[in-house]
Amino acid sequence: MRTAFVKELTRLAEENDRIFFITGDLGFGVIEDYAERFPGQFLNAGVAEANMTGLAAGLASTGRIVFTYSIANFPTIRALEQVRNDVGYHGLNVKIVSVGGGLAYGSLGYSHHAVEDLAIMRALPGMCVVAPGDPIEAAAATRAAVERPGPVYLRLGKAGEPAVHAGQIDFRIGRAITMREGDAATIISTGGMLHAAAAAAERLHGEGIAVRHLSMHTISPLDTAAIEAAARETDRIVTAEEHVVTGGLFGAVAETLTRAGIAARVEPVSLPAAIVREVGSQDYLRSLYGLTPDGIAAAVRALLA
């Protein structure tokens, strides 16, 4: 996803000299083309994410569209005060890009896990929160972030994620993408769980279980209409996210249904509300916590049992 993001940002910078990219000393091997072609629209702030965010706020106040970029939780949790007070409070045109969302940097341990970020960022007033699920969604989300005024949090994976979509998509912030129709139950996935959710849906259809699958790439603003329709038409929903169960996609779906007064069963496939102390590859950690096609399919079967 990060490669798709940088390529699309480079293409957009050719057309728009307001775009400015600040890295927190990260992305080498990916960002060189952008940095060499647009030296006047690029800055390496070093390993100083709070300073990076302050610089971004200053540049955005002069009319720039500024992207900040760093590993996992550093441009969000480490720089949260600056994100909240410098960017959010003033509604500035800063796009905060987190690479390695979820457990992508699992081998580096809990300090590099971005597993509470969706809850934190969607709690900030006026913050648009986008978590694309594959490289195609990542490129489309980059374009949408440039076009959307105000602060945006863009949560990316790392590298090597497969393309789930077959071609171009109708990507709109705040509008879920229907990956598959079905009426037995609904799987709602966000971010890097798109591939696993699609595989689970395919497996269940092979078993004669017609599940609907929604790619909920935007957590805020949320596509409440799609969630309400899924609850009314399928009655059972499984949410899939590489995030703690508290405050992320599951919480957003549950809040939506409670406000709408819809009684539907919702089951999360997520990390528990606890510190992940294990260390290993992303695939290894996902398997430990059931963030797999098998885990998602099992959750659907349990709801239907």
Q: Would you state the pLDDT for residue 29?
A: 86
Beta bridge partners, 66, equal 20, 94
**What is the CATH T-level fold of the domain 2-155, as seen in this structure?**
Rossmann fold (3.40.50)
- CATH number for the segment(s) 177-304: 3.40.50.920
Q: Where are the domains of the chain?
A: 2-155, 177-304
Which has more pLDDT, 159 or 195?
A: 195
**pTM, whole model, 2 decimals?**
0.96
Q: Would you state the pLDDT for residue 158?
A: 86
Ramachandran bin of 36, using left for φ above 0, alpha for ψ from -120 to 50, beta for the remaining angles? alpha
Q: Would you state the pLDDT for residue 120?
A: 97
Mean pLDDT confidence for 28-49 = 95
Q: Would you state the pLDDT for residue 303?
A: 96
For the stretch 150-176, pLDDT in tens is 999 999 998 788 999 998 899 999 999
Q: What percent of the chain has pLDDT over 70?
A: 100
**Cβ-Cβ contacts under 8 Å for 189 (sequence gap 6 or more):** 133, 196, 197, 198, 213, 214, 215, 216, 239, 240, 241, 249
Q: Would you state the pLDDT for residue 160?
A: 82
Q: What is the tally of helices (H) and strands (E) in the chain?
A: 11, 12
Given this chain, do its domains 2-155 and 177-304 carry the same CATH topology? yes
Q: Would you state the pLDDT for residue 91?
A: 98
Dig out the tokens for 166 from the structure: 């077959």
For the stretch 44-84, pLDDT in tens is 999 999 999 999 999 999 999 999 999 989 999 999 999 99
Q: Quick one: DSSP state of residue 112?
A: G
Mean pLDDT confidence for 220-231 = 98
